[in-house]
A and B are shown apart, each in its own frame.
Chain A
Amino acid sequence: MKWIREQPNRRFGLLDALGVTGWVGLLVARFVPIARLPFWGCVLRQRTGWPCLGCGLTRVADHVSHFHFAAAWEANPFGTVAAIGFALLAIYTVLHLGFRITAPRVELGDREAWALRVVVVLAVTSNYAYLVIKAKFPQLLG
């Protein structure tokens, strides 16, 4: 793994794009009552009782935008990590484009990149397993 220090710049990159996404997502969650929209809701959970892969993400966005991190974690742990990541990137985007503050660029080797992909897949799978247990077998969680 290589950490490469970037020169101060305002070059628009991936982190800025994700930061913009974070701004839009969290502002919408903060001021628009998404969960009350007429077509919103998990049809899969309503019909079968089984949560979908993204179960709780709306609540996560709502809670994180209101700084209720414990409630967000309860709704969807991996989603909370992602939402906080987007929030941090939103702050980074302001610092980068406004004040030319840059983050170091990380270059992974092939094996490291492969390991990171495996970690992400395992995290998503574990998160979904937790959501299923919480919805269908809550007695296992005590």
Chain B
Amino acid sequence: MGKGNRLGEFEEVVLLALASFEESAYGVEIFDAIARITGREGSITGVYVTLSRLEEKGYVRSELGRSSPERGGRAKRFFTLRPAGAEALKHSREALDALWRGARLHPLLEDV
């Protein structure tokens, strides 16, 4: 995976949140999953911008659902993790593991 394919920090969080769903998920569900992962409320706009970027990279796929009165007549947009996105997550995890394996750790980090 080249440098341009490396996941940004928030991209990784969003992909991980999406990966927690077996099938597709829409905005609010992904937003709540991110809040569970990070422990704080994020920006729903930031989530959608990142999802758009991930779709551009080919890591997710989106499609528009049906509108509903509970949403003021607005449709949900559903997102699904693509194989390339799963690969990107795996690579990111492996890169981090390799980093830790290769590092000589301070005594304070002996238990990690």
Query: Do A and B form a real pair?
Result: no
Residues in chain A within 8 A of chain B (CB atoms): none
